Structure 1
Amino acid sequence: MADNLTHNLTVLGSVTTSTLTAWRGCMVVKRARQPEKPLVLYDMEACPYCRRVREVLTALHLDADIRPCPKGGRRFRPEAEARGGKQLFPLLVDENTGAVLYESAAIVDYLFSTYGRRSVPGYYKPLYNTPVLGNMASAASALRGLSSKPSNAPAQPLHLWSFEGSPYSRLVRERLCELEIPYRVHNLGKEHWSEIGPAKRRLKSGPYQPKAGGKRDAFFQEHGDVMVPYLEDPNTGEAMFESADILDYLDRQYAV
C-alpha cells in the first residue's frame, strides 16, 4: 500500500513537470526520416536544457541512442569529453553529418533545420521565463535523474519506447539515467488530436486506431495497443509495460 502511494505521488510530481513545460514533447510536429546512423545524445534527465532537446526529438519522431551522464557518473562522462572536448550537457553527436553540438538552442535549431527541414516552431522557441519554468519542472520531479547511483553495466543497450512529455515514461528515463544504463529511445509521440490523453482515457471515445502507416501504427500492429513506457532488454529477453514494473525490474537487475 505504501509503495503504491509513493509511486502515485511520484507520478503526480512527473505530471507537474510536464505541465510546467507546457506538455512539449507530446505531439509530433513533423515526422522526420530516421538517419542512417542513430543520433547520439549525452544526456542528464533532470537537466532542463537536455529536456529541451529531448522534446524536439519527440516532435520530429526521431529515435536516438541515449548515453546517460548524471552527476558523479563515470560510465559515459569521459566518453562525452573525448568526443566533444568538455563535460557539458546536452551533447549531440550526429555521425551522419559530423556535427558535434553543445548548447540546447543550437541543437534544437540543428534538429529542426537538418531533419525537420523547417525553422523552429514558436512553441519550441525559448521565452523569457523558460529557464525558470525549466528549473521548476526539474524540482517538481525531485531532481530525479540528476545524480548517479551504483549499478552494473548491461552488455547491450536497452530499448525504451517513450515520448518526452509522458509522465510515466519520465520515471523510467530518470532511473535509467541514475543507473547510467544506455538505451535506444524510440519516440512514439502522438500523431493526431484523437490520441491526446492517457492510453486508456483518450479524448476520442471508442476503439483506438492509430494513424495508418505511422510509427504508432507499427507498434499497435505488434502489441495491440499503444502504451508507454515499454521496455525491452536484449540482455535478458525481458519486455514489459507499466512504469512501476519497469522500475522494479531495473533495480533488481542493475542496481547495486
Structure 2
Amino acid sequence: MVAALNPVPSLILRPFSYRRRPKRTFSVRATSGSSSSDSPEGTTTSVKAKEEGGKVGDGSGTFAVPPNFKPPEPKTFGVRPDKTGDIFGASLALFFRLGTGVFVDGYSATFIPKNEFPPNEYALEVSGYKVKEASKLGPRPEKPIDIYEFEGCPFCRKVREIVSVLDIDVLFYPCPRNGPNFRPKVAEMGGKQQFPYMVDPNTGVSMYESDDIIKYLVGKYGNGNVPLMLSLGLFTTLTAGLALIGRSGKGTSYSPSKLPPKPLEIWAYEGSPFCKYVREVLVQLELPHLQRSCARGSPKRQILYDETGRFQAPYLEDPNTGVKMFESAEIVEYLLATYAIQ
C-alpha cells in the first residue's frame, strides 16, 4: 500500500489556494497525406510538434491505420478470454471505492415495460423492462477542463472519480514517470512536478492538490457537496491507493511513443474496468485524450447511442486516422500499433 501511495509526494491537507493560468505556447504543424479513399484504411497523417521550453514527443511521426485493420464488432459486457485477468484486476477498484465514479450525481432509475419504451432511446434492459436513467447536473463548463495526471496515482484517481460523478468532459494530459512532454510542462506552468494539476480554461483558475481540485469542481460545476467517499480524508486516499492493487502499477511509467497532432477522444468513465484498461495504455504512451464522461445517468449516453446505434464504453474516436471503435482489448492493440515506438 505504501508503494501505491508513493507516486505523488503530496500533502492532501494543504490549505486551499489557486493560481491564475499562466500564458503558454504550444504549436503543432500537421499535414495530411493525400489518399484516394475516404475510409480510415486510406488515412495517413504526418505531424511535427514543438513546444517552447521542452521537447514534445519525438518531433515527427506518421500515423496510419494498422495493416488489415477492421473495427471489431461490439459485444455488450463481453470479455475477450485472454483479457479476463486484466479486467478482473481493474474491477477490484470498485470494491475498495464502493462504486464511486460509476454513477452521475443525483442518479435515479425508472423501470418501464419494454413494449412501452420508445425504440430510439437508450436504456439498460433488465428482464423485460427498460431502465430509464437520469441525473441532476450542475452548470456545464463551456470548454473541457485540462487535467495533468496519471493512472497509477491515488490522488489522481480521486479527481477522475469526481469528473465522472459531475459528468464533466476533461482534456487529460498524461504524465507518466519519465514522460518527456507533460511532466516538464506542469513544472513550467505551476512551478513543480506534482499531480494532479488542473487548469480550467473557463475561469483561468489552476491548482494542485486533489482535495482542493475536488472542492473547486463541485462548487463550480456541481451542487457544492463533495460525495461521501471523496470526503473522508486519509481513508479516501488509502482506499484510492488500495484500488490500484489489482493492476500493479499499470499506467504509471512511460513507454516511447509518437505524439499525435490532435488529442484522441474517448467515451469513458472512472468506474468502468474496461475503460480503465484502455486509459492505462493512453497514459503509458502519453497520449492526450479528451474524455467524454458518461457514467450511469449521463445524458451523453443518449448522444453516443444516436451516433452509433448503441451505447458501450469505452468508445474511441481518433481524429488523426479517422478510426472509431468499441471493445477495450482491440482499442489497446490499435493504440500500441499506431502510436508506440517499437
TM over 0.5: yes
Greater strand fraction, Structure 1 or Structure 2:
2
Report the Cα distance in structure 2 between the residues aligned to 1:236 and 1:125, rounded to whole angstroms. Answer: 41
Whichever residue aligns with residue 220 of structure 1, its letter is Y
Counterpart among 74, 78, 85 of residue 180 in structure 2: 74
Instruction: Tell me which residue corresponds to 1:240.
Output: 325
Whichever residue aligns with residue 93 of structure 1, its letter is V
Instruction: Tell me which residue corresponds to 1:118.
Output: 224
Counterpart among 87, 91, 101 of residue 25 in structure 1: 101
Structure 1: unaligned runs, 5 residues or longer: 192-210
Partner SS, residue 174 of structure 1? helix
Instruction: Tell me which residue corresponds to 2:84.
Output: 8
Report the Cα distance in structure 2 between the residues aligned to 1:57 and 1:115, rounded to whole angstroms. Answer: 10
Report the Cα distance in structure 1 between the residues aligned to 2:253 and 2:182, rounded to whole angstroms. Answer: 13
TM-score normalised by structure 2 residue count: 0.66
Q: Is the contact made by 1:32 and 1:62 (CA closer than 8 Å) also made in structure 2?
A: no
Report the Cα distance in structure 2 between the residues aligned to 1:160 and 1:24, rounded to whole angstroms. Answer: 20
Deviates most, 54-63 or 113-122: 113-122
Cα distance change, pair 237–161 in 1 and its aligned pair in 2 (3 A):
same
Offset of 1:215 from its aligned partner? 1.6
Structure 1 runs (4+) greater than 4 angstroms displaced:
none
Give per-residue Cα distances to partners, 1:71-109, cap 9 Å, x unaligned: 110111111111111110000001211211111100110
Larger radius of gyration, structure 1 or 2?
Answer: 2
Offset of 1:22 from its aligned partner? 1.4
Percent identity over the alignment is 39
Report the Cα distance in structure 1 between the residues aligned to 2:340 and 2:140, rounded to whole angstroms. Answer: 32
Q: Is the contact made by 1:148 and 1:178 (CA closer than 8 Å) also made in structure 2?
A: yes
Given the alignment of the two structures, is residue 134 of structure 1 paired with residue 240 of structure 2, yes or no?
yes
Instruction: Tell me which residue corresponds to 1:221.
Output: 306
Report the Cα distance in structure 2 between the residues aligned to 1:131 and 1:114, rounded to whole angstroms. Answer: 23
Cα distance change, pair 231–112 in 1 and its aligned pair in 2 (3 A):
same
Report the Cα distance in structure 2 between the residues aligned to 1:5 and 1:217, rounded to whole angstroms. Answer: 30
Structure 2: unaligned runs, 5 residues or longer: 1-79, 106-135
Partner SS, residue 188 of structure 2? helix
Offset of 1:220 from its aligned partner? 1.2
Report 1:87-106 matches (<5 A): 87-106=193-212
Offset of 1:160 from its aligned partner? 0.4
Q: Is the contact made by 2:229 and 2:236 (CA closer than 8 Å) also made in structure 1?
A: no
TM-score normalised by structure 1 residue count: 0.87
